[in-house]
Chain A
């Protein structure tokens, strides 16, 4: 197990290095940040001066090595846009907001998707099952920004139950949390359902019933844990996607998180910040995947990594 984790970590590191190269290259394809930094009427000299100041005059591979060298010291570089503020500081400022919203959305999707998925599996081919199917189809066909706008209009503008936007107490989280979580509820619920149906049909579930175990225990002890593997994979993925991909929802609800930060940084061609955020996203993705793999081994003893 330890060796497995080590090997996975090494693979993850390699992935991060490759990602850093790609991001580094892609960011520079978008254009020269000096154009955004300096006023339109800036002279050639001023531009050159700024480029030297930021190390932008050197060849790309040199720039990359400088970047990596700093990175190993934990220095993510300074922002262009927010004059000289370290990117790590900007991230530290925005990260809690994103983590908070993602965790809330994840909690909503898990709290709804798992129980409902189990319920519709147990009630297969009844009205409850069909209702669940409808909810799932609606969820998967509505993009989160559209759902976000609808929620905002109904519950914030018309009913005035929740604030329209911004970060604050729990009430601020409800609408963006639901908008983010609902899409995942749909997919997660369907996965849980099909996985449960498979397990409900197994011989060991039959044996549990023969033993005289109560139906509730059959479902939650004997089936659920076995049925969890498939949706858990997906759950890990959406955890990563939520942290990294809430760009749209954060924009719609003016939520001051990483998604909003990265949009601002891209618009300003703020390479260092974009690079730093994307690298963080990659890191998160890889970390969550490793965590999910470790969870597998915990849930299912047949899975032993060697």
Chain B
């Protein structure tokens, strides 16, 4: 795994996305910061409901309206703040600069239009040319994601395709406008294990070819090890630990990361029962004071009643935990 040293293309600072319901405020994303370099893959890991997907949708400014709102922070793409852009300008960012692959291929394609239509619709946004040329481009897009007989496939409707094939098509659509960044939101969770591997390889190949940056959202550390250069571990809307894959696997510092690692089955060890983390993630509309993991943390002390600052462990490896404080 080569550590990418491309220039920083995306910088997220103190991003906050809240959901307003009649009775409460749900802090789905509560002050996260990270950056992304050209050609690298950043993993975002965490349990369901920890804010991974909302982070992704925030980057595209597609947070479900009207309940969800980005209430603070900056999203700097090539130095320009996306939060300051008009809806029209944002539309040209979507697909062309930042694109996304959704989790479930079964539902991500429109059932009433054929593949060609959906692919060419996307292509037509930047290529103002005749149907014939668009068709040729669509054929090439499908070829890029290893779809056999692309000319014929373009005529097919989504229900005529397998899940793995559909996810390739979704990938082709996401990549059709040559974005700088692809957000892959658990793109393989809904696929068969054998197909998963193929798909991950495909993404890696495309990345090597085009130099795009990937934000890979997953809850699977095996996938992280295979795909990512760096990882951000999310818990209840915060990034609690952030570092290179090597640092996180060899030297996890946050108790939550450690617990997640321990709950991954290992081939070389024989255990009677897989480790699981006690308790439940906190309710996002009723967050505890202080460290959000404290109620489930075996190391928690009084100090944890206060939210910890972000401690630098070494260059590029940080964690939000009081145990890293010299006075602990």
Asked if B107 and A203 make an inter-chain contact with CB atoms under 8 angstroms apart, the answer reads yes
Chain A residues near B91: list those with CB within 8 A.
212-214
Q: Which of A202, A206, A212, A226 has the most CB of B within 10 A?
A: A212
Asked if B102 and A212 make an inter-chain contact with CB atoms under 8 angstroms apart, the answer reads no
Asked if B111 and A300 make an inter-chain contact with CB atoms under 8 angstroms apart, the answer reads yes
Chain B residues near A301: list those with CB within 8 A.
111-112, 114, 157, 159
A222 to B113, CA, bound (A): 9
Asked if B177 and A203 make an inter-chain contact with CB atoms under 8 angstroms apart, the answer reads no
1/0 per residue B273-288: CB within 8 Å of A?
0000000000000000
Given contacts A207-B170, A211-B125, contact A226 B94 (CB under 8 A): no
A236 to B174, CA, bound (A): 38
Which parts of A151-208 form the interface with B (CB within 8 Å)? 202-204, 206-208
Asked if B125 and A209 make an inter-chain contact with CB atoms under 8 angstroms apart, the answer reads no
Given contacts A206-B62, A207-B170, contact A213 B111 (CB under 8 A): no
B47 within 8 A of A: no
Q: Which of A207, A209, A214, A302 contacts B111 (CB 8 A)?
A: A302
Asked if B112 and A207 make an inter-chain contact with CB atoms under 8 angstroms apart, the answer reads no
| B117 to A, closest residue via Cβ | A221
Chain A residues near B109: list those with CB within 8 A.
204, 207
Given contacts A299-B112, A301-B112, contact A207 B157 (CB under 8 A): no
Asked if A212 and B108 make an inter-chain contact with CB atoms under 8 angstroms apart, the answer reads no
B104 within 8 A of A: yes
Query: How far is the CB of A257 from the nearest CB of chain B, in Å?
Result: 37
Which parts of B60-113 form the interface with A (CB within 8 Å)? 60, 62, 66, 87, 91-96, 99-100, 102-104, 107-112
B251 within 8 A of A: no
B262 within 8 A of A: no
Instruction: Sort chain A's interface into a size bin.
Output: 20 to 34
B17 within 8 A of A: no
Q: Which of B62, B104, B111 contacts A210 (CB 8 A)?
A: B62
Query: How far is the CB of A69 from the nearest CB of chain B, in Å?
Result: 48
A266 to B290, CA, bound (A): 82
Chain A residues near B174: list those with CB within 8 A.
210-211
Given contacts A206-B62, A206-B102, A209-B94, contact A226 B121 (CB under 8 A): no
Instruction: Sort chain B's interface into a size bin.
Output: 20 to 34
A44 within 8 A of B: no
Asked if A212 and B96 make an inter-chain contact with CB atoms under 8 angstroms apart, the answer reads yes
Asked if A210 and B99 make an inter-chain contact with CB atoms under 8 angstroms apart, the answer reads yes
A28 within 8 A of B: no
Asked if B94 and A222 make an inter-chain contact with CB atoms under 8 angstroms apart, the answer reads no
Chain B residues near A225: list those with CB within 8 A.
112
A139 to B91, CA, bound (A): 39
A208 to B110, CA, bound (A): 9
A221 to B96, CA, bound (A): 21
| A214 to B, closest residue via Cβ | B91
Given contacts A206-B102, A301-B159, contact A211 B111 (CB under 8 A): no
Asked if B102 and A302 make an inter-chain contact with CB atoms under 8 angstroms apart, the answer reads no
A208 to B62, CA, bound (A): 11
Q: Which of A125, A202, A204, A225 has the most CB of B within 10 A?
A: A204
Chain A residues near B159: list those with CB within 8 A.
301-302
Chain A residues near B188: list those with CB within 8 A.
none
Asked if B94 and A302 make an inter-chain contact with CB atoms under 8 angstroms apart, the answer reads no
| B126 to A, closest residue via Cβ | A212
B41 within 8 A of A: no
Chain B residues near A207: list those with CB within 8 A.
100, 102, 108-110, 170, 173
B244 within 8 A of A: no
Chain B residues near A214: list those with CB within 8 A.
91
| A225 to B, closest residue via Cβ | B112
Asked if A226 and B112 make an inter-chain contact with CB atoms under 8 angstroms apart, the answer reads yes
B122 within 8 A of A: yes
Chain A residues near B114: list those with CB within 8 A.
301
20 additional A-B pairs beyond A211-B177, A213-B122, A302-B111, beta carbons within 8 Å, are: A202-B107, A203-B107, A203-B108, A204-B109, A204-B111, A207-B173, A209-B62, A210-B62, A210-B94, A210-B174, A211-B94, A212-B92, A212-B94, A212-B95, A212-B122, A212-B177, A215-B87, A222-B110, A300-B112, A301-B159
Pairs A–B under 8 Å by Cβ, sample size 10: A125-B66, A203-B107, A206-B102, A209-B60, A211-B174, A211-B177, A212-B125, A215-B87, A222-B110, A225-B112
* 4 A-B pairs with the lowest CB-CB distances in the bound complex, closest first: A212-B95, A212-B94, A203-B107, A204-B110
Which residues of B pack against A, CB within 8 Å?
A: 60, 62, 66, 87, 91-96, 99-100, 102-104, 107-112, 114, 121-122, 125, 157, 159, 170, 173-174, 177
